[in-house]
């Protein structure tokens, strides 16, 4: 049993995922914002930014090498390389179609979409908010694999006509392979474990049955970690039992490790999300002022009239608002926020101090009596 390009040991080559990004990296675990900080914007589709992460080069090279190796014996390396390049472009386009389906369905359900990023493991659609209903979660997750199946069907139908064209034999083989890969992509992404689409489908179903979104997220995340460990174990088994399949083994190890890590991040972010939902801004500000180690200054205006000068464009958040609102206010280019009490501005606060106070909250610290912020 060997594992060369296109062999039966080749692992799934792309992962599709949808993630919500409710906060900045300083205030949230933010594994995705950090991971994609080097992604380059290449185009916009209906107002949705499409970005390419530098690691995508590895996936593109792997696809070309795999396809070329599969066709070289029959068509020669020159033709096989051209087929590999064409297959790479079409396969990445199908991954983009998969992610665009997520993004457009989210837009249809009034959820703001930040961007689509293509990277070494496939693609990720980033949104600024969570689904508010299980059925929305289900629809947004399920539409990606559906579009992958649709792409597979379309490519398969086109391959029926290509034998009549120049390079007909090569085109037919290439399109049929791409059709099969899209079906594999759809099936793999429906495996019930976060951060795969199947994990989000599982999450939606559990949410509908249990009525507890946070619990559903944690169950799906644990399933994703189990899936990641299973794939890692399979990669180790291949490395031990089939030494000549080193590349396939390493790819399984990388995919499994990524799934385990990403699922763990979803689990941690769920707990942080619960913390945000159960905490008022007033408590965070009070905690920061209550513990000198955070050096939490509440900057007040010199003329008592906020906003003014450089503060004019800053977002405003009331002290009685949910902590989510304060975290969301730091999105974009703002590193300070105007705090208000019953609609009256009382000062500004910097993001770094809020991050320190949130860190204290995560360790179980709460403000003491009498530390409430005042104008």
Report the distance separating Cα 48 and Cα 107, nearest Å: 10
Which entry of 99, 105, 137, 266 is annotated as an active-site residue? 99
Q: Which positions ≥6 away from 183 have C-beta within 8 Å?
A: 148, 149, 152
- d(Cα 117, Cα 130) in Å, to the nearest integer? 18
Mapped onto helix, strand or coil, the DSSP state of residue 114 is strand
d(CA 319, CA 161): 65
CA distances, 368 to each of 86, 206, 287 (Å): 64, 38, 8
Q: 129, 20 in Cβ contact below 8 A?
A: yes
How far apart CA 200 and CA 62 sit, in angstroms, is 28
Are 153 and 178 in contact by the 8 Å Cβ rule? The answer is no
Could you confirm whether 99 is annotated as catalytic?
Answer: yes
Contact 117, 53 (CB under 8 A): yes
Q: How far is CA 187 from CA 14, 46, 146, 147, 152, in A?
A: 11, 28, 10, 12, 12
Radius of gyration (C-alpha) of the chain in whole angstroms = 24
* Runs of H (alpha helix) within the chain: 31-35, 56-108, 134-159, 168-189, 197-210, 213-241, 246-277, 281-290, 323-329, 351-362
Structure tokens at 313: 């464009």
- 3-class secondary structure, 340: strand
Catalytic residues: 99
């Amino acid at each position: 049993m060997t594992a060369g390009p296109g062999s039966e040991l080749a692992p799934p080559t792309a992962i599709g995922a949808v993630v919500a990004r409710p906060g900045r990296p300083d205030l949230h675990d933010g594994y995705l914002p950090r991971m994609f900080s080097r992604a380059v914007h290449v185009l916009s589709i209906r107002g949705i930014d499409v970005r390419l992460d530098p690691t995508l080069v590895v996936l593109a090279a792997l696809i070309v090498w795999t396809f070329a190796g599969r066709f070289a014996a029959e068509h020669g390396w020159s033709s096989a390389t051209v087929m590999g390049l064409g297959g790479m472009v079409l396969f990445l386009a199908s991954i983009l179609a998969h992610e665009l389906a997520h993004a457009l369905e989210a837009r249809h359900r009034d959820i703001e979409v930040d961007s689509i990023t293509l990277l070494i493991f496939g693609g990720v659609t980033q949104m600024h908010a969570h689904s508010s209903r299980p059925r929305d979660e289900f629809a947004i997750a399920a539409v990606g694999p559906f579009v992958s199946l649709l792409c597979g069907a379309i490519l398969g139908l086109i391959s029926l006509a290509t034998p009549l064209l120049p390079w007909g034999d090569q085109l037919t083989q290439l399109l049929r392979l791409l059709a099969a890969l899209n079906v594999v992509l759809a099936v793999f992404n429906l495996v019930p474990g976060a951060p795969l689409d199947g994990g989000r489908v599982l999450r939606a179903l559990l949410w509908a049955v249990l009525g507890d979104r946070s619990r559903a997220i944690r169950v799906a995340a644990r399933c994703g970690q189990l899936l990641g460990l299973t794939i890692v174990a399979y990669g180790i088994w291949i490395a031990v039992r089939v030494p000549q399949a080193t590349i396939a083994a390493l790819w399984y190890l990388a995919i499994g490790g990524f799934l385990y890590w990403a699922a763990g991040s979803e689990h941690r972010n769920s707990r942080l999300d619960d913390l945000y939902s159960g905490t008022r801004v007033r408590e965070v500000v009070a905690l920061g002022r209550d513990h000198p180690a955070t050096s939490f200054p509440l900057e007040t205006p010199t003329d008592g009239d906020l906003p003014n000068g450089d503060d004019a464009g800053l977002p405003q958040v009331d002290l009685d608002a949910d902590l989510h609102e304060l975290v969301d206010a730091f999105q974009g280019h703002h590193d300070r926020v105007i705090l208000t009490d019953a609609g009256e501005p009382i000062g500004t606060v910097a993001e770094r101090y809020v991050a320190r106070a949130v860190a204290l909250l995560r360790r179980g610290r709460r403000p003491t009596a009498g530390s409430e912020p005042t104008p």
